[in-house]
Amino acid sequence: MIEIKSKREIELMKEACRITALVHKELEKAIKPGITTLELDMLAESIIRKNGGIPAQKGYPSEEKGVKNFPATICASVNDEVIHGIPSRKVVLKDGDIISIDFVTCKDGYNGDAARTHIVGKASEEDKKLIEVTKQAFFEGIKFAKPGYRIGDISFAIQQYVEKNGFSVVKEFQGHGIGRLMHEDPGIPNYGKPGKGPKIEAGMTLAIEPMVIAGKPDVWELDDGWTIASQDGTKAAHYENTVLITEKEAKVLTLY
Ligand code: MG
């Protein structure tokens, strides 16, 4: 069931999203060669808690048996890792890396979800293009995130834009509704057909999140049971915001 949020719920969503955006801004400043992904994780958690929020992903259960709950505040996915990378003191960022950071803040029972990919130090032109195309794919998608369209219109726009630029969308993972739960209906794939899927209505809150690989679309899971990486070893980027559907347009709640 797709929930339509009340005015009060939308105000609570906005506050959770504000904190998420603020943390992303601070993380962007902190990312540089020599910092570990565990340090970034600790920074994110401290800012979330200072603002009265809770890191919603920490302790998130795996769907697989025998895999420990997600242990951290942020997902930190480096280079060929697409999503769900576990922060570690062993992962030291170096010049030329790219890092995707994805996390959810919960405040007063409502969630705000966003992801960004950043360059560490100096990036290649190819990596810059990958990150830019992934971001722009989100904005291409939300042109259709308004009443009168369906979820498939968003999916199609994202896929078309990414593939036109010579990259691949990940098909195994998708965007989602968000609110009291981190993951609500509907699922929002990054590929699809126009005119298909649920109707979009004012009052929906959606996390739309292109996940893009420079090479082939295939992914696999690493031995930690969480990290998803490209099979061909090429780099990946991720760009996500929580948006509110209004009568006229999609309002992005997690921008700073
Ligand atoms: Mg996310």
Q: How far is the CA of 158 from the centre of ligand 1 (A)?
A: 17
Query: pLDDT 10s per residue in the chain (256 long)?
Result: 999 999 999 999 999 999 999 999 999 999 999 999 999 999 999 999 999 999 999 999 999 999 999 999 999 999 999 999 999 999 999 999 999 999 999 999 999 999 999 999 998 999 999 999 999 999 999 999 999 999 999 999 999 999 999 999 999 999 999 999 999 999 999 999 999 999 999 999 999 999 999 999 999 999 999 999 999 999 999 999 999 999 999 999 999 8
The residues facing 177 across adjacent strands are 184, 206
CA–CA separation, 5 and 1 (whole Å): 12
Question: Can you spell out the DSSP letters for 183-251?
Answer: SEEEEE-SS--TT-SSBP-TT-EEEE--EEESS-S-EEE-TTSS-EEETT---EEE-BEEEEE-SS-EE
Q: How far is the CA of 81 from the centre of ligand 1 (A)?
A: 15
Quick check: 151 and 192 in contact, CB under 8 A? yes
The two counts, helices (H) then strands (E), for the chain are 4, 15
Q: How far is the CA of 124 from the centre of ligand 1 (A)?
A: 26
Q: How far is the CA of 92 from the centre of ligand 1 (A)?
A: 22
Q: How far is the CA of 23 from the centre of ligand 1 (A)?
A: 13
Q: How far is the CA of 57 from the centre of ligand 1 (A)?
A: 9
Q: What is the pLDDT of residue 220?
A: 98
Q: How far is the CA of 139 from the centre of ligand 1 (A)?
A: 16
Q: How far is the CA of 216 from the centre of ligand 1 (A)?
A: 22
Q: What is the pLDDT of residue 256?
A: 85
Q: How far is the CA of 104 from the centre of ligand 1 (A)?
A: 6
Q: How far is the CA of 113 from the centre of ligand 1 (A)?
A: 5
Q: What is the pLDDT of residue 234?
A: 98
Give the dihedral of Cα atoms 92, 95, 98, 102; nearest 10 deg: 40
pTM of the shown model: 0.98
Quick check: 10 and 17 in contact, CB under 8 A? no
Q: How far is the CA of 135 from the centre of ligand 1 (A)?
A: 14
Q: Which two tokens stand for residue 256?
A: 């700073």
